[in-house]
Structure 1
């Protein structure tokens, strides 16, 4: 039996950290222009993540309940590298008042 992805009931990482990546990734992955913005001359970030209380504009749903990414297929490398149950996951969940997985 296939394990259910815990990220679909979480979304904490999308509401805890800035998601920055090499600007060319956006076009390579087909990320829609309205979902990211320039950060530096070589970096971009997902809109909504470069602020005091980050929340990615691609995150749909309520953190800790039921979430999904509206840009999942075209998401940038930091999102592809996110792993449930790792240290960054635990920090993101704590930031959002959720227990570690």
Structure 2
């Protein structure tokens, strides 16, 4: 483990991060969700093309809090599949954390 790496065993690393939710306006996209699942997402969080989440710049509009300190998803229970697949310490997590100047999480062994 490098000196700038945090461990995944830290309590709720995602709630102290939010980097993946503010990485790119193209990232929180809809891919394999069915219409019934998409209908559960409040319209105010869906982009005008209905192809993904509405963003303010690169930040998902459903993200609450300050990246790198304390964050929460405003629609966690009904978030898109792409949000469910990003896991602490995976390559996407590392890329997003790097962009925000946050230490990379060590992958679980």
Partners of 1:94 and 1:4 in 2: CA distance: 20
Higher relative contact order (CA 8 A, sep 6+): 2
What TM-score do you get using the length of structure 2 for normalisation? 0.76
The structure that is helix-richer by fraction is 1
Structural RMSD (CA): 2.0
Q: Could you list the runs of 4 or more consecutive aligned residues of structure 1 that deviate by over 3 angstroms after TM superposition?
A: none
Partners of 1:80 and 1:38 in 2: CA distance: 22
What TM-score do you get using the length of structure 1 for normalisation? 0.81
Distance change >3 Å, CA 85–CA 57, structure 1 → 2: same
- Is the Cα–Cα contact under 8 Å of residues 47 and 55 in structure 2 kept in the other structure? no
Matches within 5 A, 1:54-93: 54-93=58-97
Alignment correspondent of 1:34: 44
Count of aligned pairs = 92
Find the structure with the greater CA-based Rg.
2
Partners of 2:10 and 2:73 in 1: CA distance: 19
Deviation readout 1:39-94 (Å, 9 max, x if unpaired): 3xxx6111017xxx400000000000000001001101001111000010000001
Give structure 1 stretches of 5+ with no counterpart.
none
